[in-house]
Structure 1
């Protein structure tokens, strides 16, 4: 069949719960998930279909159909993230895949354009995703906004016990105080997911059944930190460590160090720009940094309107030339105005642009992952020094934290 006739047969429409089996079959095919993979994390055949029903019921799932057969798809979760203290509606892109016999027909490009338009209608001014192909998603307007640091330390490198007034309680991973601590943490941490029930389900979906939790309670019996972990073959695997203050951090590390006689090493992850090695007495540990999640601004006008710029001594105006490979409403010349309170507006038009950049650079810059000075130095931001200095003054200095996966 010719390419043109095949395209005529295809129809884009919503993927509904009744298409659940096809949705899962396509996911498993494109991500090469086998029955053995599912069983290794405690899943039985058929359970993944039931587990993914919330996606089809709560997310915006679009697909191309050849008759009744689903051949290409993507899903957008309705999430929220904290951006410099403001709660933003975020479209979490996932479940992206096309059967190989339908590749190179432009199907995914059209699905993405429609999904981004739908995000804009739902006031989701930013989108996050985990990239399975970095060049591909960069070409669609996404850019890195967070890192993941993997670490491994030997039992002899565990930190010495520090006195803390509180105590640790071991509990199941469903304990309500875990969500209480995380919510408090996320609302004071730039870039973090504000986890809804759906976000929690996704975060814990593939975890082993024998994973457990430890919660740190301070002297007033308030939960201020927790860790999720499991022990396997004398290795302490740390999935997540969340703490509100240094006392809770010390208490959690005391708990890990108490396993000295049971383990030979600790493996885990951090998601900040603070390497663990600096905090240890013996800092000669193995740490590997890798870029983690990507994001793209969906609607520049709404994003800037919500964005908390740094307060200034006087009102500021800056004319920008923006480029977006997917969305026409993000392209052109715009004038950014920011008042003394740090409230911004982006208007269409203006004089000669004082800075030129693409949506990828605009996103990573406003998220604080890369600074304007650095972006100018590597040729991603084209601007005079005065404009770069102005952007440096406007954008807060804090790198994003993001530890979720969906």
Structure 2
């Protein structure tokens, strides 16, 4: 059959719960998840199908069908993130895949256009994703907005015990205090996910059954931090360490160090620009940094209306040309007006733009991952010096934190 006839035959539809098995099979094929992998994590096929039902019920899942066969798909999760203290509705893009025999038909590009249009309709002005190919998603308008710093601390370099007024308790992984602590933490950290039930389910989906939780309580018995971890082959692996206070951080590291006789190494990840080496007594440890999550602004006008710019002594005006490789509503010349309180407004049009920028660069700049001066210097943004300086003044200096995975 010719590719033209094939293209005419396939149809774009929503993926429903009755398509759950096909949804899972396509994911497993594209991401090369074998039965042996599933057995390693204690999952059976039936359990996977059941676990995906909430996604198909609550997410926007789109797919191309060849007859009754699902051949290409993506899912958008309804999430929220904290951007400089303001809560944004975010579309979490995941489950992206196409069977190879249907490649090069432009199916995924059309799925993404539909998904982004739906996000705009739902007022999800920003989208996050984990990139399996950074170049591919950059071509679609996403850009890196967060890093992951992986560390290894030998047992001989663990922090010395320090006195703290609180205590640590080991608890169930499903203890309510864990969600309470994380909820407070997310509101304090720019870029962080506000985890709903679907987000928690995705975050913990593939973890080992023997993962353990430990909570630090202060001297008033208030939960102030937690660890999710497991120990295997004398390695203490930290899934997540979250703390509201430095006291809680110290208390949790005291708890880790108390395992000195049981372990030879502690491994974990940090998702903020705060290397662990600086705060250890012996900071000569192995740390590696890698890009983690990407984001893209879906609707520039709505995003700017929600965005908290830095207050200024007078109203600021910036005219710029914006390019978006996929979305026509983000294309053209725009005038940005920011009042003295930091409230921004974006409208189409304007004479003599002083900045030319694409949507991916605008995203990473407004998210605080890279500064305007740097982006102009490397050629990602064309701008005069005055406009760069204005952007430096308007955009807060805080590196995004994002530790989730979906």
Residue aligned with 1:206, SS: coil
TM-score, length basis structure 1? 1.00
- Could you tell me which residue of structure 1 aligns to residue 78 of structure 2? 78
Residue aligned with 1:369, SS: coil
User: C-alpha distance in 2, partners of 1:375/1:197?
Assistant: 37
- Could you tell me which residue of structure 1 aligns to residue 292 of structure 2? 292
- Could you tell me which residue of structure 2 aligns to residue 170 of structure 1? 170
The reply on whether 1:301 has 2:301 as its aligned counterpart is: yes
Q: What are the superposed Cα offsets for residues 137-183 of structure 1, whole Å, 9 maximum, x if unpaired?
A: 00000000000011001000000111100000000110000000000
RMSD, aligned CA:
0.4
Q: Shift in Å at residue 44 of structure 1? A: 1.7
Q: Shift in Å at residue 64 of structure 1? A: 0.2
TM-score, length basis structure 2? 1.00
User: C-alpha distance in 2, partners of 1:381/1:393?
Assistant: 17
Q: Shift in Å at residue 381 of structure 1? A: 1.0
Residue aligned with 2:193, SS: coil
State how 1:19-30 maps to structure 2 within 5 Å.
19-30=19-30
User: C-alpha distance in 1, partners of 2:320/2:194?
Assistant: 31
State how 1:249-398 maps to structure 2 within 5 Å.
249-398=249-398
Residue aligned with 2:188, SS: coil
Residue aligned with 2:65, SS: strand
- Could you tell me which residue of structure 2 aligns to residue 65 of structure 1? 65
Residue aligned with 2:163, SS: coil
Q: Shift in Å at residue 340 of structure 1? A: 0.4
Q: What are the superposed Cα offsets for residues 287-323 of structure 1, whole Å, 9 maximum, x if unpaired?
A: 0000000000000000000000000000000001000
Q: What are the superposed Cα offsets for residues 260-282 of structure 1, whole Å, 9 maximum, x if unpaired?
A: 00000000000010100011111
Q: Shift in Å at residue 47 of structure 1? A: 1.0
- Could you tell me which residue of structure 1 aligns to residue 105 of structure 2? 105
User: C-alpha distance in 1, partners of 2:44/2:5?
Assistant: 40
- Could you tell me which residue of structure 1 aligns to residue 155 of structure 2? 155
User: C-alpha distance in 1, partners of 2:122/2:39?
Assistant: 37
Aligned length: 406
Q: Shift in Å at residue 42 of structure 1? A: 1.3
User: C-alpha distance in 1, partners of 2:162/2:83?
Assistant: 33
User: C-alpha distance in 1, partners of 2:24/2:60?
Assistant: 16
User: C-alpha distance in 2, partners of 1:222/1:290?
Assistant: 35
Residue aligned with 1:46, SS: helix
Residue aligned with 1:116, SS: helix
User: C-alpha distance in 1, partners of 2:383/2:245?
Assistant: 40
Q: What are the superposed Cα offsets for residues 113-138 of structure 1, whole Å, 9 maximum, x if unpaired?
A: 00000000000000000000111000
State how 1:40-51 maps to structure 2 within 5 Å.
40-51=40-51
Q: Shift in Å at residue 45 of structure 1? A: 2.6
Gaps of 5+ in 1: none
User: C-alpha distance in 1, partners of 2:265/2:341?
Assistant: 49
User: C-alpha distance in 1, partners of 2:162/2:325?
Assistant: 53
User: C-alpha distance in 2, partners of 1:237/1:111?
Assistant: 38
- Could you tell me which residue of structure 2 aligns to residue 17 of structure 1? 17
User: C-alpha distance in 1, partners of 2:284/2:316?
Assistant: 47
User: C-alpha distance in 1, partners of 2:45/2:348?
Assistant: 53
- Could you tell me which residue of structure 2 aligns to residue 225 of structure 1? 225
State how 1:86-97 maps to structure 2 within 5 Å.
86-97=86-97
Q: Shift in Å at residue 196 of structure 1? A: 0.2
- Could you tell me which residue of structure 2 aligns to residue 128 of structure 1? 128
Residue aligned with 1:159, SS: coil
Q: Shift in Å at residue 245 of structure 1? A: 1.0
Residue aligned with 1:81, SS: strand
Residue aligned with 2:26, SS: helix
The reply on whether 1:196 has 2:196 as its aligned counterpart is: yes
Residue aligned with 1:52, SS: helix
User: C-alpha distance in 2, partners of 1:354/1:318?
Assistant: 7
- Could you tell me which residue of structure 1 aligns to residue 184 of structure 2? 184
Residue aligned with 1:345, SS: strand
User: C-alpha distance in 2, partners of 1:149/1:72?
Assistant: 33
Gaps of 5+ in 2: none
User: C-alpha distance in 1, partners of 2:45/2:99?
Assistant: 22
Residue aligned with 2:81, SS: strand
